[in-house]
Amino acid sequence: MKHAAIACAAASILATGRHFGPLETRDEPDNDPLAVATRAVEALTTDFASYRTTSEASTAELRAQIADMETRMNRPHTPGGETGEITLERRAFTNFLRLGDNRMDPEEVRALIVGDDTKGGYLAPAEFQTEVIRGIVDISPIRQAVRVGSTGAGSVILPKLTGRPTANWVGEDEDRDETTMTYGQLEIPMHELACYIDVSLRLLDDSAINVESEISSELSQEFALKEGSAFSNGDGAKKPMGVQRTTGVAEVVNGHATNINPDKLIAVMYALPAAYRNNASWLMNNTTLGVVRTLKDGQGNYLWQPSYQQGQPSTLLGRPIIEDPTMPDIANGTYPVMFGDFNRAYRIYDRVGMSILRDPYTQATKGMVRFHARRRLGGGPVLAEALRKLKMATS
């Protein structure tokens, strides 16, 4: 009976045309999960290969650009060999140096007027000032070691901690003492540094010579020698207060008036708190350095060690040496050696703007044009506890 019922139902379905659609089978590739997964993996592999090819090409192009930039940066400078687009301001400044403003195009004169200095002359373009500062850094030893900033004001006011909080051990219900910190102010005034250089008319007329580079090089040397001396040993009168004039610097007595004691150099080094010692340097002149290079420890090893890496300074007791010609020689009562974190102990501020005045008359009979340059800057000690010094004395 059951089989007969099934047969009747099947016959009824066929007679009415009803159906349930095709049955899913493993033989159809579109519905095979394994085939679908395989195709997805293949597509992902293809996309990744394409991305990798594109990425490698982009990376290779970027590396080539970086290599080209490094090559150009390391290429020695040749007079008149600058390439690239020159701004109107810089072109106007170069023509001003060569010709004076009375023989320039009106458009270039307007570019100079934008940088007009109220005290006469014209403000040098930023690129020229950067070249001068870069040259000063190469010559001035103190500027290389300390923190340098810029300002547009006549002085810089820095906060100074004058009183530290005091902590005390107390019981559970005891009164706590007041631990208020006190602050003062430290002012670094701006001072004016001026110089002039004479340039021959022949040099100015020769278009093959980069007159801007020549003048910036001369100004760099003049400014560096003057400011380097002031930053090291200036007395604060119309000039910055030098790092050697820092008040409150702790000293270590050498124990001999004329011969440096190697043990005292070690004492100077470890008299400085560890927080400053890790970034500290030695400061001395070339005569003292010549003496220090001969000093040895108890095992016969030299305290001074040469540098075997390009661009890295020689070291004394593992710390770099700054050679400053304005430091005093070894003599009774002098301080020929300083040690400390000069980056935290001293500040230099450059006031924005350098003025150039062209004077074609003063040296005209000698075929020269005189250029007067002036800039304003300031410097001063800000943290005496970051420094230590060696005193040449018996006691």
Domain ranges of the chain: 88-162+183-241+349-381, 248-341
pLDDT at 34: 76
Q: Of 391 and 394, which is predicted with more confidence?
A: 391
pLDDT tens digits, one per residue of 256-271? 999 999 999 999 999 9
pLDDT at 112: 47
pLDDT at 195: 86
Residues in CB range of 239: below 8 A, 6 or more apart: 191, 230
Burial (CB < 10 A; 0-12, 13-18, 19+), residue 141, is buried
As given in the structure block, the two tokens for residue 113 are 């007027």
Cross-strand pairs, 375: 193, 354
- Average pLDDT of the chain is 77
pLDDT at 211: 76
Residues in CB range of 126: below 8 A, 6 or more apart: none
Please tell me the class of the 88-162+183-241+349-381 domain.
alpha beta
What CATH number has the domain spanning 248-341? 3.30.2320
pLDDT at 389: 96
Q: Of 71 and 343, which is predicted with more confidence?
A: 343
Residues in CB range of 216: below 8 A, 6 or more apart: 128, 131, 132, 135
pTM for the whole structure: 0.65
List the one residue out of 321, 311, 283, 346 whose CA is nearest residue 148: 346
pLDDT tens digits, one per residue of 132-185? 666 676 677 888 899 998 888 888 888 766 666 677 788 877 877 776 666 677
DSSP state of 196: E
> How far is the C-alpha of 390 from the C-alpha of 269, rounded, in Å?
10
Which residue matches tokens 């070691």?
145
List the one residue out of 298, 303, 190, 186 whose CA is nearest residue 246: 186
Q: Of 131 and 77, which is predicted with more confidence?
A: 131
Cross-strand pairs, 194: 374
Work out the number of other CB atoms within 10 angstroms of the CB of residue 114: 12
Q: Is the pLDDT of residue 251 over 70?
A: yes
* Exposure letters 163-181 (e unless 16+ CB within 10 A, then b): eeeeeeeeeeeeeeeeeee
**What mean pLDDT is predicted for residues 54-61?**
78
pLDDT tens digits, one per residue of 338-381? 999 999 999 999 886 678 888 888 888 998 888 888 888 999 99
Radius of gyration for the chain, computed over Cα atoms and rounded to the nearest angstrom: 37
pLDDT tens digits, one per residue of 81-116? 444 445 656 666 666 666 565 555 555 545 444 444
> How far is the C-alpha of 292 from the C-alpha of 336, rounded, in Å?
11
